[in-house]
Chains A and B, each alone.
Chain A
C-alpha cells in the first residue's frame, strides 16, 4: 500500500513537471536542470591548486579590469586602470595621481570596455593588455608581469572611444575609432550642421615593440558614422583592420530611430600597412593636438609622469584611394570579428536576423574588378554579394559578437534571444545553441580572436542576472557564465559574478605568464626620488611649509615612528619605503585625518601620501595590512603644533637618532 502511494505520488509529480514544461514557453528559465551532473567536477579546482586560464574582464562602468581564474571563476585581482581605487590607493598616492591626468584635468572615473591581449604573429604573446576608456577617450597598457597599469594615452579628435583597444597582429598599433563624431579640431559648430561639420576618426596609436610605449601614429578623418568595434586581419588579411559602423544615416538626434532606417550599414576595411607607408613617406597633414600621455615604470621607482603629445598626422580618404573600403552589412552592426585563418570576417547586426560571413579573397577580387555599388565621400562601397561568403541564417535574434575555437567553429552571442550559437565557419551551418542567463553581450574563447585559439571554453558576458543570484536590493551583481566547448554541444558549467559590467573579456593559459610574475621590486635598484634604502636613510626635513618624511617599514615597525615639529599649515609628504624583499609582504600606511588615501606598499616599493593636518594634536599612524604577529604594534605618532609655534623638528624610532 505504501509503495503504491509512493508510485502515485511520483506519477503526480511527473505530470506536474510535464505540464510545467509545456507551459514554460521558449524563454530560458534559469535553473539547474540545464546542468549535467558532473559540471561541478569540471570547474572544481582543489584548494592550493591553480586554475588553467587567466580571464581578463573589462569592468565597464567601474573603469577597471577584473582578473579571474578559469575554470573556477575565482576572482584573483581587480586591476585599477581608469578609476581610482581604494584597495591599493591608485589615483590617490602621489606616485599614481598622474596616471589619471587628461587634457580635461584629473578624471577619477571612466568606462572601460575592451581588453585586448598583445599578439605576436597573430598569436597571444602574454606581454601586455590594452584596454579603452570610452568616455574621455584613452587607451591603457597593463604590464602582465606586474598586473599594473603602466601607461595611458589620451586620444585626440575623438568622441567616444568605443572601437578600441584592438591591436594589429604584431602589436604595431593599437587602434581606436570614434563612436561619436564631432567637429574635428576641438571647435564648436551648430549641431544641425552634423553632416557638414562633424567627422569620425580612426586612430592608429604606435606601440614600441620593445617597451610597449604608445605614441600618436596616424589618424584617418572619416564620414560621420558611429564606429563601433574592430578586429585585426591575420594571415592572408594581415595588414588590414576591419571596423563596424552604424548610423550611416548620419543622424544626430533620436538615434534609436533615426540611425535605424537603412537596411544595411557598413564594415570599414582599412589597408593600414599601406597607410603606414604613405605616412612614413612624409605624407598626411600634421595637426596640433594636446593630449595626455601618462606612464609609470616600476623598474624605475614607479613615479608616474604626465606629459603631452602635441602633434598627429591626419589623413583624409581622398589622399589614399584604394586603401579604405566600405562593405554593406545588415543592420546596425556591432561586433567585427576575423576568423583564425584570416580568410573570413563577420559582423553582428544588432537588428538583423542573419550573420554575414565575408571572404577576404572575394573582397580582394571585388576591389580588383571594381564591384562597387557607389561611394561615401569618395570611399568605395563594395557590393554586398561580391564580398559575401554566406550568411548564418535562422540562428537567433540580435547577433552581437563572434569568437572562434581551434576546430573551425564560431560562437556568436545573440542579445535579444539570450543565447550562444555555434556554427561552422566553412559552411555557416548552425551546429548548436545554448541559452544564456540573461542578455549576453560579448563572449570570449581563450585566444578566440587570434590565429591560435586554445578553445576549451566559451564565456558568456551577460548584461542581466535577474534571478540568478541572491538578491541584493535594486542593484544586482553582473555575471559571466562558463561553458565547455570540448564536445559537439556546448555545456553550461558555472555562473560567476563579475566586477562592474563585463563588456569584452580575453583569456590566456596561465602557463604563458604565471612564471614571469614579478614578486618584489628590488630595493637596491629603486630610483624613486624619495626612497629610503634602509633605516639609515630614513629622515624628516623641512622645505618651507613642506615637510618630507622619508620613512621605512619592515615587519613590524616604521622608522621614524615618533615625529614632532609639524605645524598646522604644513603639507606633509610621507614617502614610505617597504624594505621587505619577500613576496607577498606588503605594508599599509594610514594616518588619522588623511583626506585622500591610505597606502598599500609592495616589497621594495616607495609610495607617497600627502597629508595636510588641519588642527593641532597628536595623530596616530599605523600599518593597515596585517603583516606579522606584531602587526598590531606597527604604529607611531605625529605631533602637530599650532601654526607659528617653534617646536623643533625631531623624529626617531626607539629613541635612536635623537
Chain B
C-alpha cells in the first residue's frame, strides 16, 4: 500500500508541468505553510472536490451496487467499458485498486476542476483527448458507482 502511495505521489510530482499548473515548482520545493488543502489532497491522491474521506464497507452493499450499475448504464457506459480496454475513456477494471475512492468520486462529481488542477486527471485527458463530461452525478450517486466499481473489481 505504501508503495502504491509513493508511486502516486511521484506521479503527481512529475506531472506538475501539465498545461494548467500554476507554477513550475514541485510541491516538495514549497514550504509546508504554502500547501493549500487542495495541494495536500492532490498529494494524497484524493483529487480535489467535496469528497474528503470515504469509508469503505465490507461486504459490499448490494443495493448500492445495483444503483451504481443503473447509473453506469445511463450515464457512463457510452464511454467506459467494464474491462481494461479504453473506449472513449479508460476501462474500469482494476480502477479501485489503482485510485483512491476519494479520487474516483471527485473525478465523477467535480470533473472540470479535476481536469484543471489534478495532474492524474490531466494525464488521462492527454491520453484520451476527449474531456470527460460532467454528467451531473450527485455525491450519493457517485458513491453508488464506486460500490459498483468495487464489485466489478471482484470485491
Contact = CB atoms under 8 A, between A and B. Distances in A.
B79 A554 contact: yes
A610 B31 CA distance: 64
Contact of B88 (A533, A534, A555, A580): A555
Interface stretch (B55-63, B92-100, B126-134): B126-134
A109 B129 CA distance: 43
B113 interface: no
B146 to A, nearest CB: 18
Contacts of A556: 88, 130
A552 B78 contact: yes
B28 interface: no
A630 interface: yes
Query: Which of B79, B87, B88, B130 has the most chain A CB atoms closer than 10 A to its own CB?
Result: B130
A554 B133 contact: yes
Contacts of A582: 133-136
Contacts of A520: 136
B75 A555 contact: no
Contact of A581 (B75, B79, B87, B131): B75
B73 A534 contact: yes
A589 to B, nearest CB: 15
Contacts of B34: none
Query: Which of A522, A559, A583, A629 has the most chain B CB atoms closer than 10 A to its own CB?
Result: A629
Interface size class of B (residues with CB under 8 A): 10 to 19
B76 to A, nearest CB: 8
Given A523-B74, A533-B74, A555 B87 contact: no
A175 to B, nearest CB: 40
Contacts of A537: 73
Contacts of B131: 555, 628
A284 B21 CA distance: 74
A554 B78 CA distance: 7
A533 B74 CA distance: 5
A369 interface: no
A535 B79 CA distance: 10
A535 B87 CA distance: 14
Contacts of B136: 520, 522, 581-582
Contacts of A27: none
Contacts of B78: 534-535, 552, 554, 557, 559, 579
Nearest to B76: A534
Interface in A512-546: 520, 522-524, 533-537
Contacts of B41: none
Nearest to B111: A582
Nearest to B72: A534
Query: Which of A520, A523, A534, A630 has the most chain B CB atoms closer than 10 A to its own CB?
Result: A534
Interface residues of A, number: 25
Nearest to A519: B136
Interface in A383-405: none
A585 interface: yes
A239 B77 CA distance: 57
A393 B43 CA distance: 77
Contacts of A629: 129-130
A428 B26 CA distance: 73
B73 A581 contact: no
Contacts of A211: none
Contacts of B133: 554-555, 580-582, 585
A654 interface: yes
B91 to A, nearest CB: 13
A535 B129 contact: no
A628 B77 CA distance: 18
A582 B78 CA distance: 15
A630 B129 contact: yes
Nearest to B79: A554
Contacts of A630: 129-130
Contacts of B134: 581-583
Contacts of B129: 629-630
A654 B85 CA distance: 13
B88 A557 contact: yes
B130 A628 contact: yes
A579 B75 contact: yes
Interface in A561-613: 579-583, 585
A581 B131 CA distance: 13
Contacts of A555: 79, 88, 130-131, 133
Query: Which of A522, A523, A555, A585 has the most chain B CB atoms closer than 10 A to its own CB?
Result: A555
Nearest to A533: B74
Interface string B44-65: 0000000000000000000000
Contacts of B130: 555-556, 628-630
Nearest to A580: B133
A559 B137 CA distance: 22
Contacts of B87: 654
Interface string B120-155: 000000000111011111000000000000000000
B92 to A, nearest CB: 15
A5 B75 CA distance: 78
Nearest to B129: A629
A536 B75 contact: no
A581 B135 contact: yes
Contacts of A581: 75, 133-137
Nearest to B78: A554
Contacts of A583: 134
A95 B88 CA distance: 30
A522 B71 CA distance: 13
A556 B131 CA distance: 10
Contacts of A580: 133, 135
B55 to A, nearest CB: 26
A583 B136 CA distance: 9
Contacts of A559: 78
B80 to A, nearest CB: 11
Nearest to B136: A581
Contact of B77 (A522, A523, A534, A557): A534
20 contacts: A523-B75, A533-B74, A534-B74, A534-B77, A535-B77, A535-B78, A536-B77, A537-B73, A555-B79, A555-B130, A557-B88, A559-B78, A579-B74, A579-B75, A580-B133, A581-B133, A581-B135, A582-B133, A582-B134, A628-B130
Given A534-B78, A581-B136, A629-B129, 9 more contacts: A523-B74, A535-B77, A535-B78, A554-B78, A554-B79, A554-B133, A579-B75, A581-B75, A582-B133
The 3 closest A-B pairs by CB, nearest first: A581-B136, A534-B74, A582-B134
